[in-house]
Structure 1
Amino acid sequence: MMDHAHDLACVREATDRLLTAVAELDNASLAEPSRLPGWSRGHVLAHLARNADALVNVLQGRPMYASAEARDADIARDAARPLEAQVADVRESADRFQAAGDAPADWSRTVELRNGVTDSASRVPFRRWAEVDLHHVDLGIGYELEDLPAEFLEREAAFLTQRFSGHPDVPATRVTDGTRVWTTGREGGTPGVTVTGRPADVVGWLAGRRAGTALTVDGGELPKLPPL
């Protein structure tokens, strides 16, 4: 089982980094495009706040979101708020998530996320860590994939290769950062494609943040990955 207490501490650190960086922005910069198509920086911050509350729902046995439409509507509603309101919401929702994480619980239990996805409760804090740190990068305000903690890059590569493992549209693939090796894609047979790159470039490709042009591919073409 994962160390949820350690991951909760990492979430706090990642949230503090994000809030410190965002506090240097202004209202005009929040309205500018983020690196996510169709989303401003305000959309990203609104999503982070609502995701924290959604994961509280997960930990407390409620549906993550009322519906996909309600999730999107909440983000659209909150995206245009001024900086002060955005920062307060991200901070207060993060505090609610930490409180839910600190409550006594059976961390080995299975919880349900979006679209019928299930996971161990112990992995929810890591999922939140990924949300905070990757979306910090998505803001495009100076925090890059190369700035992500080494532990996070290693674990996120493992998490995402596991996520695509067995996917019928992804060829059997060997992924390595030069030190660690993961396999992903269709099951059955030896992976015919090997993808090699720096940890930041590997995670960037797996997470849909980079096209993979900095990666080395042997045995075929760089696999096209489905959206997360």
Structure 2
Amino acid sequence: MSARTHADSLEWVEHGTALFTAQVARLDEHTMTQPCALPGWTRKHLVAHVAANADALGNLVHWARTGERTPMYASAQQRTADIEAGAKRSATDLTDWLNASVRKLGVAMDALTGEQWRTDIVTAQGRTVPATEIPWLRAREVCVHAVDLGTGTTFADLPDDFLAALVADIQGKRGLGEVPGGPLPEVAAYLAGRPHSLAEVADLGPWL
């Protein structure tokens, strides 16, 4: 199992955010409406999802800062509706939303004290965890979805220590006793349900 620290997660958020936003900045209206690597979604859907996720995690940061229970989403239906509505916005509007949500989340996380980071919050999956998990949740989103944009970034472009932590996390979430051997980026891609080069492995289905 890979041990990860709060500082690691914050560093991976920064890395993944820079990677994701740089790719989005190069997309125009036409390329934004093209399919991403996730079935049934365009790049607009994916950008809307990542922007909405920053806003949702901002709710958890607010919870940690104030003690006021603030769920990520009002409901699963609201989450889906926000993504669908976002996918109908122009590429410029979507990019502006993404950049604004990224900045707002970063400022909010930077303002948390050590005690506030230790506050228990509840994820969208119903897990009660300390607020220190928020950066890890965001790092997974921006790093993995940077690959899902389908603009040339692969799991091999992500930091090895992030990939090791991702493998350990997914292995635990999927309840796998062991993982197949192979190059770390390919193992991470396989466990995440993304295209990979591993041979003779069972299909695990999508994740994240």
Offset of residue 149 of structure 1: 1.1
Does residue 19 in structure 1 map to residue 4 in structure 2? no
State how 1:5-84 maps to structure 2 within 5 Å.
Answer: 5-61=7-63, 62-84=70-92
Residue 91 of structure 1, aligned match among 80, 92, 99: 99
Tell me what 1:205 maps to: 190
Q: 1:78-137, CA deviations, whole angstroms, 9 ceiling, x for partnerless residues?
A: 113222212211111011111221123332332101131222211210110110011111
Matched residue type, 1:154: A
The percentage of aligned residue pairs carrying the same residue is 36
Give structure 2 stretches of 5+ with no counterpart: 64-69
Distance in 2, matches of 1:150 and 1:129, equals: 13
- Conservation of the 8 A alpha-carbon contact between 2:72 and 2:123: yes
Q: Is the 8 A contact 2:9 2:136 kept in 1?
A: yes
**Residue in 2 aligned with 1:107?**
117
- Secondary structure at the aligned position of 1:52 is classed as helix
Q: What SS does structure 1 have at the residue aligned with 2:129?
A: strand
Query: Relative CO higher for 1 or 2, CA cutoff 8 Å, sep ≥ 6?
Result: 2
State the secondary structure of the residue aligned to 1:114. coil
Counterparts of 1:149 and 1:196 in 2: how far apart (Å)? 18
- What is the deviation of 1:68? 0.5
The total of aligned residue pairs comes to 198
When the two chains are superposed, the root-mean-square deviation of aligned CA atoms in Å is: 2.1
TM-score of the superposed pair, with normalisation by structure 1: 0.79
Question: What is the CA deviation profile of residues 128-153 of structure 1, one whole-angstrom value per residue up to 9, with x for unaligned ones?
Answer: 01100111111100111111111111
**Does the Cα contact within 8 Å between 2:171 and 2:178 map onto a contact in 1?**
no
Q: Answer yes or no: is the 8 Å Cα contact 1:31–1:80 preserved in 2.
A: no
Task: Please tell me whether the aligned partners of residues 192 and 206 of structure 2 are also in contact (alpha carbons under 8 angstroms).
Answer: no
Unmatched segments (≥5 aa) in structure 1: 166-171, 176-194
CA distance in 2, matches of 1:226, 1:44: 15
Query: Take 2:107 and 2:181, find their aligned partners in 1: how far apart are those partners?
Result: 40
Is 1:153 paired with 2:163?
A: yes
Q: Which has the larger radius of gyration?
A: 1
User: What's the TM-score, normalizing by structure 2?
Assistant: 0.86
| Distance change (3 Å), C-alpha of 1:73 and 1:53 | same
What CA distance in whole angstroms lies between the structure 2 residues aligned with 1:3 and 1:198? 23
For the residue of structure 2 that corresponds to 1:36, the secondary structure is coil
